[in-house]
Amino acid sequence: MPPLITTLTLNPTIDLASEAKAVQPIRKVRTFNERQDPGGGGVNVSRVVRELGGETLAMILAGGVTGRFLEELLDEAEVPRRSIPIQGRTRISQTIHDQSSDLEYRFVPEGPTVTGPEWAATLRALEEIKGGWLVASGSLPAGVPPDFYARIGAIAEQRGTRFVLDTSGEALHLALEKGGVELVKPSLGEFEALIGRELREQVLLEQAAVELVRSGRVRLVAVTLGRDGALLATAEGTLRLPALDVVVRGAVGAGDSFLAAMTLALARGQSAQDAFAWGVAAGAAAVSNAGTAHPRRSEVEELRQRIHGVPIGGVKEGE
């Protein structure tokens, strides 16, 4: 059986997406083509891992009637889940595509405050994980200490679990200071904030990413660059892949789709370079579909074939 990929989402969301002919102030804006998706970093990763044929468990903090709605959406998507109850209500985010300008507007609330007993219960739940992979994705909600992901990394190390992290700011810094991280996936802006300087020149970006890997704090660094593709850094050097040419229909969850495909390929025993290429393919497939993180498996596989220079790994699903 392939390794289980457990994801953790401390601040999940119900993602509402719709279109409008024009977004205007004061006036009532009529929307159409509405859809609801279970969202949040780890939730999106689990959904994509499942779409790509992997085994996953989505661990979420959920509260209130909106938390129950989130659970219902996950159940409808047939994504295995484990809920940790909280007193606050799960947040609702909204994305509106303005047809008149072809611009996308995203409204993302802060979400509920998580109490000490609630985040402590999350740590206890994670201590039950045995082996496999753990992906922690998203920002820390109010009430959770900044070293929370560093604590999770320590638990993963004790349990023999590979730890993948997608966050930013102090939470990322403290987790990397602790070390033992398998993969981090910052955006360029997040990586610059971590390093403490601008890295707009390719050589500076490559040097900084390789230095971080060679420091021993993380094994792989994948920096997503939007329309400029992505950069992978390993101890041996770097690989940069351009963005694939697709029709963009939505950007929500593209980074999570990238992370899901890359983590799944690594879990299946494929090389870092091959896994990175799968991530680029999944990110492109995600932006070519409306809604939150909806890359189709057939599209990801077709787009992976279009990435030249990186051999496709020979490890098959289920090995």
**Catalytic-role residue among 15, 37, 147, 256:** 256
pLDDT at 226: 87
**Strands in the chain per DSSP E:** 5-9, 13-20, 31-39, 56-62, 81-85, 91-98, 103-107, 133-137, 162-166, 181-184, 218-224, 230-234, 237-241
Higher pLDDT residue, 227 or 223?
A: 223
Count other C-beta atoms under 10 Å from residue 242's C-beta: 12
Domain enclosing residue 276, as ranges:
5-22+31-305
Contact criterion met (CB below 8 Å) for 268 and 294: no
Per-residue pLDDT tens for 260-301? 999 999 999 999 999 999 999 999 999 887 777 788 999 999
Helices (H) and strands (E) in the chain, counts: 10, 13
Per-residue pLDDT tens for 237-253? 999 999 898 877 777 77
Instruction: Give a yes or no: residue 314 inside a domain.
Output: no
Instruction: Give a yes or no: residue 46 inside a domain.
Output: yes
Instruction: Give a yes or no: residue 123 inside a domain.
Output: yes
pLDDT at 292: 72
pTM to 2 decimals? Answer: 0.92
Contact criterion met (CB below 8 Å) for 96 and 73: no
Of 172-176, 262-266, 313-317, least confident by mean pLDDT is 313-317
pLDDT at 314: 47
Instruction: Give a yes or no: residue 315 inside a domain.
Output: no
Instruction: Give a yes or no: residue 139 inside a domain.
Output: yes
Total structural domains in the chain? 1
pLDDT at 316: 37
Instruction: Give a yes or no: residue 313 inside a domain.
Output: no
d(Cα 265, Cα 133) in Å, to the nearest integer?
A: 12
Contact criterion met (CB below 8 Å) for 152 and 127: no
**Active-site annotation holds for 37:** no
Per-residue pLDDT tens for 154-173? 999 999 999 999 999 999 99
d(Cα 279, Cα 293) in Å, to the nearest integer?
A: 13
Residue 21 has pLDDT above 60, yes or no: yes
Type of residue at 299: E
pLDDT at 14: 96
Per-residue pLDDT tens for 132-145? 999 999 999 999 99
Kindly indicate the confidence band of residue 1, based on its pLDDT and cuts at 50, 70 and 90: low
To the nearest whole number, what is the mean pLDDT of the chain?
92
- Tell me the CATH number at 273: 3.40.1190.20
